[in-house]
Structure 1
Amino acid sequence: MLSRTAALAAALAASSLIAGGLADATTTSAATDQLSTDGAGRVIAVEPAAPVAAPHGASAATAAQANVTRLAKQFGLSVGELVLSDVRPVPGGSVARLQQKINGVPVFGAQVVQDLDGSGALLAAVGKTTQRSAGAFPAQDAAARAKAGESAVAAVAAKNSAAKALRADAAQNYWYDASLGTDGAPATAVPAYFVPVHGADPEDKWTVVVGADTNQVLTVWGETRQAANRVVCDANRKVVDLDTATEADIRCGAGHAFGVTRGEGQAAVATTDVNKVYDYFGAAQSFYSKYAGYDLTASIGANYGDGKGKALRGTVRMCEISTGRDGVRRQQCPWANAFWDGEQMAFGEGVTTMDITGHELTHGVTQHTSALAGGYAQAINEGMSDVFGKFIAIKANDPNAAGANRWLLGAGSSLGQVRDMRNPANSGEGPSPDRVNGQYWAGPDGDEHIDAGVVGKTDYLITDGDTFNGQTVRGIGEDKSIALWWKVENLLRSTATFKDLGNALNTACASNVRTKVAGTTADDCAQVAKAVKATQLNQNA
């Protein structure tokens, strides 16, 4: 099983780039825009009848700000405001993320993402907002935060009896509307503390949402774990006690837990796993640079002050001893696992395929883009890592991604294949669904690796094509598919649902046609729409 880590707070706490408002752009009439809704009637997408032109000579940020008033009305914003929190370039233009805030505090998952062409014209917007709020943050905030930390630790302990040495980190303030992560009826946003809880095992990290004015635990989730300057270290089968270890205990860098075995530009060494990971980091860096214009090292690399700078870092051939969920303490050497801990990667011996490495690094990418977390969004997070991990390997002509292994994630590793994206029911970690609400469907509280199968199946259909669930899909090929999924990665909200994913696929495809990205055509988008129907991403989960 591919492991998990927390990466929520940094990605969601983006500060405003621009405050205040500009005149609403009026090139097209909002009355003629096409609106898409979820099962409860909330608007989740707006597609203007024609692109909404940006003010003359405006930057992408200024263009995005000019649309705020219009989009606030269309997405039914009745409380708070939409604040521009992030603008980033994508092939063909840019995406601009608007964060809903109430009294200056963000509403978790309440975002509207604008899809802008190269001139700044608005092509589409996707997202969801909360409709009402109730309550207030306590005046004695410090005392309330302390109580929330105690409640958070108690909640995790109650759900995970084997977890050791639980501790709460500093809480963050958010308004919380649970319905933003579902397709159900709108709920009321309430003031809440998001409390990160850590266990002794570095892999054990949770987020606990505690009502700020009630101290009631609203939800708990374990987080998905998430360089070309490359630094690779060899644990040489050293056993790490994950019951007591911290992130510092697995750091790869000069003067840290594991010394540097191979750094950027150095020749190959005698340890095969070190050389493989070095090469895989390079393949991932090249992929994101070529197909997304995204600097992986600069975005997710770590600088440990060892003279190596900001780098993609990984420790190979690590062994571990830890207490299992059954309370039994066991040692694994070789250790059959790999994870991204929010800073760097760790590998057991032989767990070093290119697609697994790309999968874990993509968790870091998601951490810094859509920040998918909690409920269905965590399964989509896993699925997006499968998509890009596999594309990285395919585009690098990795033998483990060729022939019969093309859609098998982890083929050639000591784990064996862990996910079959063509036939999710055949996945090595256990059967996964190939459609929303289909056989093996786990739901928002299930293991996120299971429902990720729907994302992988959709990618397979879009890329290679097939006949499935009443739809015959002509594959659009690798390059168009990669461009499509990268746009989707940047359009999703942090609490996106599977229906949001289906909508984003259709929206992103239409945008790529208009902006002439990767040669995408209208017929390609017809195939994407068929794939969305085939895997039932157009349904409410």
Structure 2
Amino acid sequence: MLKVWAGWVVSVVTALCVLLAAPVVADPAPVSLVEAPKQVHRSASGAVRQVVPDVPVPVPGGRAADPAAAAAAHAASIEQLFGPGVDADLVVQRIAERGTGATVRMAQRAAGVPIYGADVALALSQDGALLSATGALAEATKGSYPAGGLTPPPAAVTAAVARTAELSAAPPESVRVSAQSASWYDPDLSGSGGPGQVAVPAFRFDTASGSGLWRVFVAAAPEPAVLGAWQTAENLTRVVCDAAETGDQFELDVPCGGHGSYPVVLVEDGRSVPPTTEAGQVYDWIGDTEVFYQRYTQLGSLTDFIGIDAGDGRGRALRATVRVCETSCPYANAYWSDGRGFVIGSDAMGLDVVAHELTHGVTDKSNGLDYVNESGAINESMSDIFGEFTALTTGTDHPLALRWKIGATTALGVIRDMKSPRSTKSPQPDYYRGPGWAPTNYDDSRPVPDHGGVHTNSGVGNKLAYLLTDGDTFNGTTVRGLGIPKVAALYWTVQTELYPSADYPALASTLITACAEDAADGLAGLTAGDCAQVRNAIRAVRIPLLADHV
């Protein structure tokens, strides 16, 4: 045995001498993401949802002038990995700053028409090198739009209105169409999902029925069948209107300040009512939310991002209508609409509620998480997270007993408890598919309660955020808390990288890659040790990662 070891040592030393004597040749940098060593993460159906190279992939062809040019240079590799064989193009949709780098969202178009839910977020370093790609693209298309047929015909409009009326149990004449456009539709790229996916020509309709907002897809075919339908989520410039609990919901079709809206009672730097009134409180809380996003994320101006121009000469503004009566009076709810702005009833008055609803607008613009099934639960959780972070960072007194309790200061009382999701009157699951998990099989032909548990299954994401922020031991795993500044920065990066149909495994995998990217940038002081805590928190709430395929 001693002789064998001695011989082995001599052999190793000899080999090392030969290696040291030979010239060292560095491995050539990969020409593209396709050729690079990488991890390819897939959804349960086997579709590519995330690609993470072992080392950053330089911009093909050399350094790019800006993030958009760098993303365009990487696009061919992204198409080959995420959507091979599809005759489509990727176009830059949005650029978000991330430390010294950027996240560039690219949307897929076929024949110049967008494919709903088909986009990929490219995380780039300062020099344009690709750190990760997260998203979903169509893998097949079938059919084509008729010549000159990008405008929805009357029959398609009628079908969309009829389906909205059916789902909302309202007469068709009460349904209003707020937007319509041509859009390829693939169920696998929406939160509703479905087997055997292919993108087909369709028309997208955004409709409203009562206080509900809906998204409906109708086939661009001689027989305009409904392909899918679901209810959607419901520089600082503020404009606030007061409905005075008059109950005329049709005036809510007009954003505050627009022609025919409820009376404007507050504008930026033009306070005409006391801050103690509901209008005054909402005005201040909108400002608190703006301050949070500017201080703790790289969004910049919330007004510029989600503000609405109502044609009143004030330009883009964060517009709100208070003391609304819709299904009840006082109205015990609040919602955000891209066309209406923020709407709130008296019983839902609270800073965390206001920030929650404004964050729905941010999520819609950032990644468009569909408000159904797991993607809808993540959408709700993101609003709870940023809403609670806003309430905890305003500098005002926030009793420890109310920490992580959503709605605690409203007339409704505690709606959700992020620290203890199982403890409220409507218990939520506190780990993935644990007790209280709601069915997530909502689709147009099989409606299930709460659009597939969006307000129930959000408890998993909420518990995860609590663990990351404050730290705790849960399900046998101990997590060291990172604090609000780090977790807010991390979740903002995740917001810029998720995609419409993302599920909890996609959220978990994106948290891991986003943390690595933020730590490399030194964003908010995040470190590799912090990223280990991200993995611990994910393990604690038992969210699986996207499947690994090298």
TM-score (norm 2): 0.84
Structure 1 residue 289 corresponds to structure 2 residue 287: no
Tell me how large the CA RMSD over aligned residues is: 2.7
The one-letter amino acid of 1:70's match is S
- How many angstroms does 1:143 deviate by? 8.7
1:109 aligned partner: 117
1:418 to 408, 415, 422: 415
Structure 1 Cα separation of the partners of residues 347 and 83 of structure 2: 52
2:360 aligned partner: 363
**Is the CA contact (8 Å cut-off) linking 1:145 and 1:171 kept in structure 2?**
no
Equivalent runs, 1:476-487 vs 2, <5 Å: 476-487=482-493
SS at match of 1:209: strand
1:178 aligned partner: 187
**Is the CA contact (8 Å cut-off) linking 2:32 and 2:77 kept in structure 1?**
no
**Is the CA contact (8 Å cut-off) linking 1:130 and 1:186 kept in structure 2?**
no
Structure 2 Cα separation of the partners of residues 94 and 82 of structure 1: 21
- How many angstroms does 1:444 deviate by? 4.4
Equivalent runs, 1:120-519 vs 2, <5 Å: 120-139=128-147, 141=149, 145-162=153-170, 165-168=174-177, 171-181=180-190, 187-199=197-209, 201=210, 203-213=211-221, 214-225=223-234, 228-235=236-243, 237-242=244-249, 244-248=250-254, 251-253=255-257, 256-266=260-270, 269-270=273-274, 271-293=276-298, 294-320=300-326, 322=327, 331-332=328-329, 334-342=330-338, 343-349=340-346, 351-375=348-372, 376-400=374-398, 402-428=399-425, 430-442=426-438, 443-445=440-442, 446-447=449-450, 448-519=454-525
- How many angstroms does 1:138 deviate by? 3.5
**Is the CA contact (8 Å cut-off) linking 1:40 and 1:186 kept in structure 2?**
no
CA deviation digits over 1:313-348, x for unaligned, max 9? 22222334x5xxxxxxxx51x322222232422222
SS at match of 2:473: strand
Structure 1 Cα separation of the partners of residues 471 and 151 of structure 2: 57
- How many angstroms does 1:170 deviate by? 5.3
CA deviation digits over 1:145-178, x for unaligned, max 9? 3222222222223333245612445532222221
Structure 1 Cα separation of the partners of residues 491 and 484 of structure 2: 10
**Is the CA contact (8 Å cut-off) linking 1:39 and 1:184 kept in structure 2?**
no
CA deviation digits over 1:200-247, x for unaligned, max 9? x2x22211122223522222101102x822222333x331233x4451
The one-letter amino acid of 2:465's match is D
- How many angstroms does 1:369 deviate by? 1.2
Structure 2 unaligned residues grouped into runs of 5+: 1-28, 443-448
The one-letter amino acid of 1:490's match is T
**Is the CA contact (8 Å cut-off) linking 2:83 and 2:139 kept in structure 1?**
yes
Greater shift, 504-513 or 464-473, is seen at 464-473
Task: Tell me which structure has the larger Cα radius of gyration.
Answer: 2
Structure 1 Cα separation of the partners of residues 471 and 441 of structure 2: 28
SS at match of 2:188: helix
SS at match of 2:508: helix
SS at match of 1:190: coil
- How many angstroms does 1:540 deviate by? 7.7
2:52 aligned partner: 47
1:68 aligned partner: 75
The one-letter amino acid of 1:145's match is P
Structure 2 Cα separation of the partners of residues 188 and 456 of structure 1: 33
Structure 2 Cα separation of the partners of residues 512 and 105 of structure 1: 34
1:80 aligned partner: 87
**Is the CA contact (8 Å cut-off) linking 1:76 and 1:131 kept in structure 2?**
yes
1:14 aligned partner: none
Count residues in correspondence.
499
**Is the CA contact (8 Å cut-off) linking 1:232 and 1:252 kept in structure 2?**
yes
Structure 1 unaligned residues grouped into runs of 5+: 1-23, 323-330
TM-score (norm 1): 0.85
Structure 1 Cα separation of the partners of residues 393 and 471 of structure 2: 18
- How many angstroms does 1:254 deviate by? 8.3
Structure 2 Cα separation of the partners of residues 59 and 128 of structure 1: 24
CA deviation digits over 1:391-431, x for unaligned, max 9? 1111113434x412111111111121211111222345x22
The one-letter amino acid of 1:110's match is A
**Is the CA contact (8 Å cut-off) linking 1:247 and 1:341 kept in structure 2?**
no
Q: Percent identity?
A: 37
